[in-house]
Structure 1
């Protein structure tokens, strides 16, 4: 059947094109009601800053090809099942489901890859599920311990969801670092003990002296665990500098083709700081004996219900005007955080 699909056609350009959806006997046909726009990967693609030769996402059945223009992309669609293949149970008909699918009016998906929207969860809230699942993965990878000081750089949607989950832990302090004042307020509302501008962080952490020690020769202060979620490569140096002795830095930002230079010549070696990547498409090797994607998804759904993600939804824009959604996110203006596309 025919549908309309959003395409990224060139840097800072999008278009809605007519396409067809293939609907097989073992699939669901979903009519999209809402889809969430990512300010991370999608914005890199929109700006032309994503590596064109990289596969779109080999773990998602709804995406194919690479990140070169033109391409369909997106992974946060919520809609109603309007038809089922002959090999699929009719009980799926009429159900509201989530799918990791691009922005388009209809999608086909295998039942095992569709997540029924839980009772009590609004479709708009469910569209934020990928950010909460990413935040869940970040917390699993960071392994926060009781009494630790944790710093989160970046109070965008993923950063705020991460703060919301971390706030349920018995930490020493949960500190958000964000240059935009309104986002600092939101970070505190999500559970951060304090939210500061980047230039204020050293005072809050009481970092003193160079070379990994304070002026009196004792180990310098700093955070036990640091998350770099700002999306800005230049923040990585600041994140490493914020870590204390034996501190861990979890890098959840994806910079695309933007180069990240890292100064490892000062306290990095003496303080034995570790820098680790975190990415939601896979599970960390050390957790795979006990964790599966299904288990992580279940935990993320629990967190989705517990964390006030609805407060992060700032804009709803008709699908036909999708270009405005990306302009808003690119400008970072008008208090924009989570943008949803709505389908009539």
Structure 2
């Protein structure tokens, strides 16, 4: 067992619909690795897909300890890692990028061509008392950082990538489609760009009210948004609903910019190529977060520009994983971010 690490437990999904809580003894971290005591881990829809067996087989490896959204404190490090990291509060990138392929060398670590590997999907994740990660993936937090809120820095990094891709400029009209975790985090980051107007599109009135508290100037339903088609300089799509890629492109003005961050399923409505061409839209997509986006998110968190804490509505111990996972994607508008607290 590693010095400073206490015995613990891990939540293992052996296959679709089958999970167990097992006793673990944290191993001494290997060369270049850090052992982190988990403070909190968020559950998202991709975790539910893993549990239900709906995730693409190329992006999961059973049995697996899930948990890719998390925060914690370094308790031990392997050889070649700076010893002063022990005791530091931290989060870590999920993608285990190779660092040597062309895309990684260009800084696009979320597009690594060296083979897919990600904490919580192919590598043991943070639904456990401890998680071991390559130390090069750590992003250190302030000594007084709220680790409960910091567990949401993984989705925040995705949104940081989307916002940088969208290049918001002061005085622009911006729309955010979807007011889930990604959408509400987007509102916080986009508010800092001083838009002339920041509209959130979501059918749930309670989410719209929360978006206003986070800085949105208005919240409308998808039906109401249709009256503003062609009005926005920048549209950031976060919902991943079957129609939102196409409808987001309709919201953008001619020559506008659209960034897609939602995870779409087969059969989603396609973008009209005639509209795309005639409107000269710039359309980008975001999958995961490269290293620089993590840096952006952690910096914004440290400066107080990003406060994920109000998004958290439920917290459960590892023993109640079944109750926690049932809430995620269950359709209750009162359910926000669900955390596991080892």
How high is the TM-score relative to the length of structure 1?
A: 0.79
Match of 1:75 in 2: 68
Partners of 1:132 and 1:303 within 8 A in 2? no
Residues 1-344 of structure 1: pairs in structure 2 closer than 5 A:
1=1, 3-11=8-16, 13-18=18-23, 21-22=26-27, 23-39=29-45, 41-54=46-59, 67-85=60-78, 87-99=80-92, 100=94, 101=119, 102=125, 103-203=127-227, 205=228, 207=229, 221-255=230-264, 257-264=265-272, 267-282=275-290, 293=291, 295-304=292-301, 305-333=304-332, 335-343=334-342
> How far apart, in 2, do the equivalents of 1:15 and 1:155 lie?
33
After superposition, the C-alpha distances for 1:296-344 in whole angstroms (9 at most, x for unaligned) are 433312322322321111111111111222110120316111111111x
CA distance in 1, matches of 2:273, 2:149: 44
Q: Which whole-Å CA distance do the structure 2 matches of 1:194 and 1:24 have between them? A: 51
Q: Cα–Cα, structure 1 residues 240 and 183, in superposed 2: closer, same or farther, change >3 Å? A: same
How many residues get paired? Answer: 303
The question of whether the paired residues in 2 share the 8 Å contact of 1:49 and 1:258 is answered with no
How has the CA–CA distance of structure 1 residues 12 and 157 changed in structure 2, closer, same or farther, with 3 Å as cutoff?
farther
Q: Distance in 2 between matches of 1:134 and 1:84?
A: 27
Q: Which runs of 5+ in 2 are unaligned?
A: 2-6, 95-118, 120-124
Report the CA distance shift for 1:89/1:262 in structure 2 as closer, same or farther (over 3 A): closer
Per the alignment, residue 106 of structure 2 pairs with none
- TM-score w.r.t. length of structure 2: 0.80
Partner of 1:58: none
Larger-gyration structure (1/2): 1
Assess if the C-alpha contact under 8 Å between 1:228 and 1:235 holds in 2: yes
SS at match of 2:283: strand
**Quick one: structure 1 residues 265 and 113, their matched pair in 2 at CA, closer, same or farther if it must change by over 3 Å?**
closer
Structure 1: where are the runs of 5+ without partners? 55-66, 208-220, 283-292
Describe the SS at the equivalent of 1:144: coil
C-alpha distance 271-84 of structure 1, shift in aligned 2 (>3 A)? closer
CA distance in structure 2 between the aligned counterparts of 1:296 and 1:184, rounded to whole angstroms: 26
Cα distance change on mapping 1:120 and 1:269 into 2, 3 Å: same
Aligned to 2:107: none
> Displacement, 1:18?
4.4
Contact 1:312-1:338 at 8 Å conserved across structures: yes
Alpha-carbon distance in 2 for matches of 1:93, 1:34:
18
Cα pair 2:88 2:143 within 8 Å, conserved: no
Query: For the structure 1 residues 189 and 86, does the alpha-carbon distance in structure 2 shift closer, same or farther, using more than 3 Å as the test?
Result: same
Q: 1:272 to 1:87 in 2, by over 3 A?
A: closer
CA RMSD of the aligned region, Å? 2.4
Pick which of 192-201 and 67-76 moved more: 67-76
Q: Do the aligned partners of residues 14 and 259 (structure 1) sit closer, same or farther apart at CA in structure 2, a change above 3 Å counting?
A: farther
